[in-house]
């Protein structure tokens, strides 16, 4: 079903073109950071992606064949090598196990359908009240705020706190990278940079120390 959804979303946006490695690409808009072989880091945006490759808009493009490690919203860590230079960036292949490719295909399916159909925030994951309620939110500039967790899921959390960073702001909740996706009267909702596999892992990472 996920593979069918990915194919349908792809055809609706771009027509039935397949990449050279037999994975279908979809148009996305994923922000993140990437590191070149010399360990320099830069911000980036992925505009098209499949479980086998990605088109990256980047300020520094590197050279063909160079190793790249990227950390992307929703998907987490990906790595590969630069296949070709494009206008404003590069196209890279993605080195991943079959299991990780399947997981990536599912995530890309949801992202493509969300953009195509204007779906609301992802509610596929069960939301529960965590055993650990108190944690902290760390902003990129070093400011840290105490917070109270209202509920959690594999993909995000609702948090009570005194300040409300702008939607889209990168934050760290406990030890998990996330971004602000919604405001509430008494707090915010955050979406984790990568979907967690078990709620026990989410709860463990809510700890500050």
Average the pLDDT over 126-148 and give the result: 86
Segment 34-46, tens digit of pLDDT? 999 999 999 999 9
Which domains, ranges and CATH numbers included, belong to the chain? 2-117 (2.40.10.220), 134-205 (2.40.10.220)
pLDDT reading at 196 higher than 70: no
pLDDT reading at 83 higher than 90: yes
Question: For residue 190, which of 202, 208, 207, 204 has the smallest C-alpha distance?
Answer: 202
pLDDT reading at 117 higher than 50: no
Across 154-175, b (16+ Cβ under 10 Å) vs e yields bbbbbbebeebbeeebbbbbbe
Strand, helix or coil for residue 180: strand
Q: What is the pTM of this model?
A: 0.50
How far is 127 from 178, CA to CA, in rounded Å?
A: 17
State phi, psi for 98 to the nearest 5 degrees: -55, -40
């Amino acid at each position: 079903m996920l593979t069918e959804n990915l194919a349908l979303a792809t055809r609706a946006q771009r027509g039935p073109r397949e990449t050279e490695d037999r994975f279908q690409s979809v148009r996305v808009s994923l922000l993140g950071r990437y590191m070149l072989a010399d360990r320099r880091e830069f911000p980036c945006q992925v505009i098209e992606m499949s479980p086998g490759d990605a088109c990256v808009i980047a300020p520094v493009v590197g050279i063909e064949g160079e190793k790249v490690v990227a950390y992307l919203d929703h998907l987490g860590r990906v790595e590969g090598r630069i296949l070709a230079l494009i206008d404003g960036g590069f196209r890279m292949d993605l080195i991943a196990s079959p299991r990780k490719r399947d997981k990536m295909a599912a995530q890309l399916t949801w992202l493509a359908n969300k953009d195509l159909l204007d779906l609301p925030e992802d509610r596929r994951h069960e939301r529960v009240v965590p055993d650990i309620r108190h944690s902290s939110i760390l902003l990129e500039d070093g400011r840290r705020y105490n917070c109270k967790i209202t509920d959690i899921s594999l993909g995000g959390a609702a948090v009570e706190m005194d300040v409300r960073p702008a939607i889209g702001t990168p934050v760290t909740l406990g030890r998990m990278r996330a971004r602000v996706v919604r405001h509430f009267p008494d707090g915010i909702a955050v979406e984790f940079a990568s979907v967690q596999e078990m709620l026990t892992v989410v709860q463990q990472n809510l700890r500050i120390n």
